[in-house]
Structure 1
């Protein structure tokens, strides 16, 4: 999943937004939120200009206009306010991180786009209202409040915006970034997360393929694999990492990463087992998403336990501070 820019708010507003968090004790393993920047150094959402590619045309928007759309698109609005606030901060940070790194090749004339395959899922207020039905007014109020509650605030590591990765749910432990991507980031380590079968829809899922379907998909990526004979003999040497996700396994004599298997067969996560039988090859999967960073369903449970959005951020991102965006 994963590059771009973030003016002045009054002292009164600064105190209202950030005064209380200054007094909050940081959760174990985290740091207390950083002291906000001086008022003249802060960048509020209304002062952050974005060029947005909506798939058809370029649109000029402020962060204040764009951010509600991705909060609507990425987290259920039925979630608790503090979870939605944490999501708004993660989204804002994610945007600022990518803006700082330069525009993507997929949209070189735009800072961000509205595609979840490239940037983040974006849902307009009108489309969300149609989906939410009689809850539309309540849910839109919560989304807008999440953006206002956290106006201009991002997650920082060594003073720079982090890659604020998030996912839907994990199997008790989030993934270390190095287990999923090419390198480990110091603020994206595995942490315990409280969600489970009772709190997450479709927490367990099964994806089944006939032997013929499995062969076609796997051989297209690994033509040298031997997928002859009994499918039960195709799978060997499955290893898992500390977060319970498949690290490597051998399929038809070829060693592959669990993340690749997930991608090839469109599995909901890399936390899976493999069974073979009369129905073919069955992947039994737990959780949803790459597993790195904030678990959204975990954030919801932490919010229900009384955690603030700041505490949720520090729960999932190690050794970070929270402060206003500054170019």
Structure 2
């Protein structure tokens, strides 16, 4: 009798566990999509990894893998990793409908990379999917490849120094992705006519202005443009685009004016000039990288912490402008390509490599001791949270482990950061990535921490603020005050980089 009653209970428990991990996995996939939109590609990879590891449902695993491959291919210049992910999907889930798409994508990436595996992948596709969606395209490309005798006939053209920065003058900053009502003020010019104020509405999937409907509208000014909804003034011009859910509002401005508005929005205006110069170069490099990988998007960067904080003219300061002008056109490159200039508020006492935190190797984003950040604000901290609060946070994320008994470090990286933790509770245990679970639930400033349970409270003793990868803003300030120049500061935080002029 006991066994008969126990069986339905166990089945119910298994179903509850599966549903909870499904919620957590879906949450991370959606969060990863948001991070891509914000330009946080390494963080997006981490979110997709978390989604993959948390679930046993094939559909969610494949969904996470496809999104991750897309990030590697389009935004991180890691096509080989993307190729391997697509091949893994095909071989691991051969009976799933997504296998066809994965094999096709693998072949296309191999062709793009001039990889000798491309014909083999195309032939595999034609053999297995004779009535496939991409059959004729694959056949055409495979026939074309078969006529090539050597790779040298189609060499990969490296990016030259002359090409870096070519035609890069303006940057497209998204002030609003969707808005239904926008008012602009100033000495404005629209369609060769002058207006002191421009008021536009979203109507019938169009932009309504002056009783006329437009798909796109450009507002110029000889001075500045005041955007009422932002309460800021902007140089350059404003471009309005009618999109599916509202009006996309862009400030199109030259890159140096953009950096004027970023430097002391991201750093403190009273900081040492060398620290502000470091910020200017890191921000300019970041913006240029995004402009390159988002050339097919409607915008290059967002105006908030999703990318970099930008407040137009109101975000400019004398010290920020001076730092920008002193480093005019300078970016950081690695192997003649702009770097993904990750930066963080503080590294704590040790920075991390991108591989340690995000499982993506970028040689210039390396881990090393950082005594400069340690001595500054955010260098070390303590926080605590009750067991019940953590249990509530776990439940909201779909992690149903019942009463929480312990949180145990599972993987500690070279920097000392806990990259994976195990939650042990009355309903079992769950091992998850710290960055996407514990850090968000507790609100930890960083995962460079220790974990201690005393009574009904967990205590965290750590350091740093952010992900700990790349340039440390507080560390840069400490180095500048100690007499280091901006080039020395940036070379301390980014390994083997080269300073290069865009113009």
State whether TM-score is above 0.5: yes
Alpha carbons 2:261, 2:311 under 8 Å: kept: yes
Q: 2:489 aligns with which of 297, 312, 317?
A: 312
2:351 alignment counterpart: 174
Q: Pairwise mapping of residues 205-284 of structure 1 onto structure 2 (< 5 A)? A: 205-225=381-401, 227-228=402-403, 231=404, 233-252=405-424, 253-260=429-436, 261-278=438-455, 280-284=457-461
2:252 alignment counterpart: 60
CA RMSD of aligned residues (A): 2.7
Alpha carbons 1:42, 1:152 under 8 Å: kept: no
1:136 alignment counterpart: none
**Cα distance in 1 for residues equivalent to 2:423 and 2:433:** 10
Alpha carbons 2:417, 2:448 under 8 Å: kept: yes
Aligned: 1:114 with 2:306: no
Aligned: 1:89 with 2:281: yes
**Cα distance in 1 for residues equivalent to 2:286 and 2:315:** 23
Instruction: Look up the SS of the partner of 2:372 in the other structure.
Output: coil
Deviations 1:120-163 (A, max 9, x none): 122344367xxxxxxxxxxx221101111111110001111000
How big is the shift at 1:237? 4.0
Instruction: Look up the SS of the partner of 2:346 in the other structure.
Output: coil
TM-score, normalised by the number of residues in structure 1: 0.75
Instruction: Look up the SS of the partner of 2:291 in the other structure.
Output: helix
**Cα distance in 1 for residues equivalent to 2:283 and 2:331:** 9
Q: 1:197 to 1:182 in 2, by over 3 A?
A: closer
Instruction: Look up the SS of the partner of 1:73 in the other structure.
Output: helix
1:49 alignment counterpart: 170
How big is the shift at 1:290? 0.5
**Cα distance in 2 for residues equivalent to 1:317 and 1:193:** 13
**Cα distance in 2 for residues equivalent to 1:223 and 1:115:** 30
Alpha carbons 1:171, 1:244 under 8 Å: kept: no
Matched residue count: 271
**Cα distance in 2 for residues equivalent to 1:59 and 1:197:** 38
How big is the shift at 1:99? 1.1
TM-score, normalised by the number of residues in structure 2: 0.50
Q: Pairwise mapping of residues 158-197 of structure 1 onto structure 2 (< 5 A)? A: 158-196=335-373
1:126 alignment counterpart: 314
Instruction: Look up the SS of the partner of 1:95 in the other structure.
Output: helix
Q: 1:48 to 1:286 in 2, by over 3 A?
A: same
Larger radius of gyration: 2
Q: 1:305 to 1:223 in 2, by over 3 A?
A: closer
2:211 alignment counterpart: none
**Cα distance in 1 for residues equivalent to 2:292 and 2:373:** 36
How big is the shift at 1:199? 2.4
How big is the shift at 1:192? 2.2
**Cα distance in 2 for residues equivalent to 1:256 and 1:156:** 34
Alpha carbons 2:349, 2:374 under 8 Å: kept: no
Alpha carbons 2:272, 2:481 under 8 Å: kept: yes
Structure (1 or 2) with the greater helix fraction: 2
Structure (1 or 2) with the greater strand fraction: 2
Instruction: Look up the SS of the partner of 1:311 in the other structure.
Output: helix
Higher relative contact order (CA 8 A, sep 6+): 1
Q: 1:312 to 1:222 in 2, by over 3 A?
A: same
Q: 1:102 to 1:127 in 2, by over 3 A?
A: closer
Flag as ranges the 4+ runs of structure 1 deviating above 4 A: 41-45
